[in-house]
Chains A and B, each alone.
Chain A
Amino acid sequence: MLFFRSEEKVREWCNVHGYPMRPLVRIDQLWTLATTWYSTRLQENSRRPQPEEMRMIFAGLGLEGEFWDPQSDSFD
């Protein structure tokens, strides 16, 4: 889970290492993920999102499909 300067740099990195290029996430989308996961982390009632919640959070950001499905078996 890494930062890249641009889509072009992601493509270069994937080509160099033979990795598939995955859907990109904008910084503002990443902030939403960070706050959703961690804004209560230092509090007593914090909990990790469960799979169905994760799907809804991702879908709300337009991150859909097998790649973002925490229970997908497409990558076994």
Chain B
Amino acid sequence: MPLDHEAYKPKEQTKEFDIQVKLAIYKHFAETGQGPTPTEVAWRVNANVEEVLGVYKRLRIQRLLVLEDDGSTIRMASPFSGVPTQHVVTVDGIHYFANCAWDALGVIAALHKPGTVHSRCLQSGEPLHLKVGLDGPELSDWVFHCLVPAAKWWDDIVFT
């Protein structure tokens, strides 16, 4: 019976590799504002693309990645979005797309750098330009509304 190489790999080694891939994804987003291709991640972790895509599957199960239907394009690596959204965060001249209002502030929290959140009121279209420092956002009377109950967020995380 042939060995299943993935299953044969020592668990700690797999876990360590998963962490390397996860960090490589986030580092790419942080440095460029864009989602990495599997090839770019593979280059960063000195592995092949097939190995990286194997990790993608595990990170998706852990709810750390949301992938497009092709299984290789990153739609969400929260707080970062791999596709354009209405929530744009500017930090050090780099523009980041965030998945939602929560994640827009999350980008600044993750980067530990001051920045500006650009978004809009979903009802009126009024633009929001919210400056956020290391200690948090400037005073603002805007509000955040979440339509989906917490227990249902992952039923359809893109809609949430």
Is B101 a contact of A3 with CB atoms below 8 Å? yes
Task: Provide the bound-state CA to CA distance between A72 and B152, in Å.
Answer: 9
Instruction: Confirm or deny: B7 has a beta carbon within 8 angstroms of a beta carbon on chain A.
Output: no
The one of B100, B126, B140, B147 that contacts A22, using a Cβ cutoff of 8 Å: B147
- B124 near A5 with CB under 8 A, answer yes
Interface size on B, residues (CB 8 A): 50
Contact A27-B144, Cβ < 8 Å, known A5-B124, A41-B79, A75-B152 = yes
The answer to the question of B121 belonging to the interface, with a C-beta cut-off of 8 Å to chain A, is yes
A41 and B137 in contact (CB under 8 A), knowing A1-B144, A22-B146? Answer: no
Chain A residues contacting B160 (CB-CB under 8 Å) are 1
Task: Give chain A residues whose Cβ lies under 8 Å from the Cβ of B99.
Answer: 1
Q: Which residues of B sit under 8 angstroms from A69, Cβ to Cβ?
A: 149-151
CA A20 – CA B63 in complex, angstroms? 27
Q: A2–B150 Cα gap in the complex (Å)? A: 15
A27 to B78, CA, bound (A): 19
Residue pair A27, B122 in contact (C-beta under 8 Å): no
- Cα(A35)–Cα(B99), bound, Å: 16
Quote the shortest CB–CB distance from B122 to chain A (angstroms): 5
Are A24 and B149 in contact, with the CB atoms below 8 A?
A: no
Most buried by A among B100, B103, B149, B152: B149
7 sample A-B contacts, Cβ–Cβ < 8 Å, listed by A number = A27-B141, A27-B144, A31-B105, A38-B79, A38-B109, A48-B63, A74-B149
- Which of A's residues lie within 8 Å of B, judged by CB? 1-7, 9-10, 12-13, 16, 19-22, 24-31, 33-35, 37-39, 41-42, 44, 48, 54, 58, 66-75
